[in-house]
Amino acid sequence: MTPGARIATAIEILSEVLAHPTRPADAVVGDYLRQRKFIGGGDRRSIAERVYGVLRRRAQIEWWLEHARHPGEISPRMRVFADGVLNDGLVVDRMEKTIDAGRYRPASLTDMERATLRRLEGHTLDHPAQPRATRLNIPQWVEPHLEAAFGDGFEREVAALAQPAPVDLRANPLKGDRGQARRALAEDDIEAVATKLSPLGLRLKARASVVGTQAFRDGLIEIQDEGSQLVGLLVGAKPGMQVVDYCAGAGGKTLAIAATMENKGRVVACDVSAFRLERSAQRLRRAGVHNVERRALDAEGRKWLKRHAGKFDRVLVDAPCTGIGTWRRNPDARWTLRPEDVAELPVKQAEIVAAAARLVKPGGRLIYATCSLLPVENEERVAAFLAGDPGFAAVPVSEVWKETVGTPFPSAATSGDSLRLTPARHGTDGFFVAILERKV
């Protein structure tokens, strides 16, 4: 593709993302590119990087367009052009030669667009007059929530959430070990290094697609953030146990749990969405997992839950949350998050935990996890649950880590008895984990 064609494609995809805010950007980008197999790998990376980059830098780009007194709509097209000038240092005259209205290229600049972009020439994204939330590219309303969560580390942590995430993989013990996975990837010219915290993890040295590799097709690897891998390990599922993954979704943690159980025992993957559960079927087959049953939490599923109260050794609740810890991977999510979500989600989380806790047998454990970084969804939820149900007690995660993970426990990762991982401190997505044991 020509540079102009890549820009035109980025504008088209960004338009789709902004027009459908309830759809994750990665789904929009993925669908668009899958339908256009003629776009080569290098072009795909360039286009995706531009789209995600504009979403990461959205607040600053919009601030500059307003500062430059752009009189028209702040369109996807203007966002992409402004990003080229401010982030890449492009000169307008040179840009115009790239977008010359030729076939597959954007229409020529209007006089209004040209005038605005010329006012941006020579500037970078940062400006001393920008409010802190703008400079960090987060919604202003969420700033006090994150400041309360991080204190003195606020700016460092939020800046890390704006960086692109690495590609992490989990070696599947049912098919081979981490060394075998690394060697198999090398045969496809993909270099990976062992992760520091997860004993099953590999991190790619450079971004690459692994879905076409033999290692992926054989089920030797799964794409999974290192933090998510640690959640699966901390469940402490062992061969022969009865385990529930209560909010299983498409099954990433279900796969990890089944692998640690060596396909012995029983894993029940539950979710309110039968569609999401159905999507996990192919992943389970590819991974060689055959001790998982899927159960939708419809009316029949809720009856099943009542009949199986107090029968499970481990129950994982990977609760629906604001997802702030995954902003590196989902930069659009910071702009679709609403203030009412922070008020409504903790109520839903409390209901889910209360329901899931009934499944835990005496001596069994409830593992509560989120990919949020807000105390109201994490520490406060656990404290409220324990206050309302004295039959459970917190187990220090650092102790469980020794039994289940085995690598050195990460520094600055505890929040009371719980675990809190962040991109800035640990290089993972943001995750919170608390382990609660039923005493009676």
Question: d(Cα 357, Cα 7) in Å, to the nearest integer?
Answer: 51
Query: What is the phi/psi pair of residue 192, to 5°?
Result: -135, 155
CA gap 370, 317 in Å, rounded: 8
Cβ contact 372:322 at 8 Å: yes
Q: Do 371 and 430 meet the contact criterion of CB atoms below 8 Å apart?
A: yes
Examine the residue annotation and report whether 371 is marked as an active-site residue of this protein: yes
d(CA 270, CA 251): 9
Q: How far is CA 348 from CA 254, 343, 354, 355, in A?
A: 22, 10, 10, 11
- In DSSP notation, 296-341 reads E-SHHHHHHHHHTTT-EEEEEEE-----GGGTTT-TTHHHH--HHH
Q: In angstroms, how far apart are the furthest CA atoms of the chain?
A: 74
Tokens representing residue 232 in the block: 């699966």
| CB neighbour list of residue 261: distance below 8 Å, 6 or more residues apart | 237, 238, 239, 240, 241, 243, 267, 291
For residue 267, give the H/E element and its range: strand 266-271
Retrieve residue 97's tokens: 């030669």
**Residues 254, 272: Cα–Cα separation, whole Å:** 15
Element (H, E) at 229: helix 226-234
d(CA 358, CA 306): 8
Which residues, 6 or more positions from 150, have their beta carbon under 8 angstroms from its beta carbon?
A: 156, 157, 158, 373
Which residues are marked as active site?
A: 371
